[in-house]
Amino acid sequence: MNEEKIVDRAKEVVAKAVAGAREAVDESLDDARERFEDAADEIEQRARRTRRELRRRAEAVGDAARERYDDAVDGVKRGYQSVRKNAGELTDDVNEYVRENPGKSILIAAGVGFLLGMLSRGGRRRDEI
């Protein structure tokens, strides 16, 4: 009987040890599961913050690009208007000069026409034609 009591007692000790080990493993698993869930939540929050920051920066870049485009368009418009104004003034000046100096104007026009004719021939001689 004494041996049976020892064996029973050993079985009880082993059963308690196994139960304790199971309980420790279960607690460890629960703790690990909790930590993984916390880590997943943290990653999700960081991803949301990163998306918001990227969206904010993309909007800022888009706004800056639109602003620069608008500035460029305004600059081109101002340049065009300036050239148009200057061309109008030049036309007025030429018209006034022609009215005041008709003879000189005809001679200048003939000289320009002669030079353009020479240039359009490409410098070829008459005998090459």
**At 124, is the pLDDT very low, low, confident or very high (cuts 50, 70, 90)?**
low
Structure-token pair, residue 77: 């418009």
- In this structure, the number of other CB atoms found within 10 A of the CB of residue 97 comes to 13
Q: What is the pTM of this model?
A: 0.45
**Over the stretch 1-44, which tens digit does the pLDDT of each residue have?**
678 888 888 888 888 888 888 998 989 999 999 999 999 999 99
**What average pLDDT does this structure show over 68-90?**
92
Phi-psi region of 101 (alpha: psi -120 to 50; beta: other; left: phi over 0): beta
| HEC per residue, 99-120 | HHCHHHHHHHHHHHHHHHHHHH
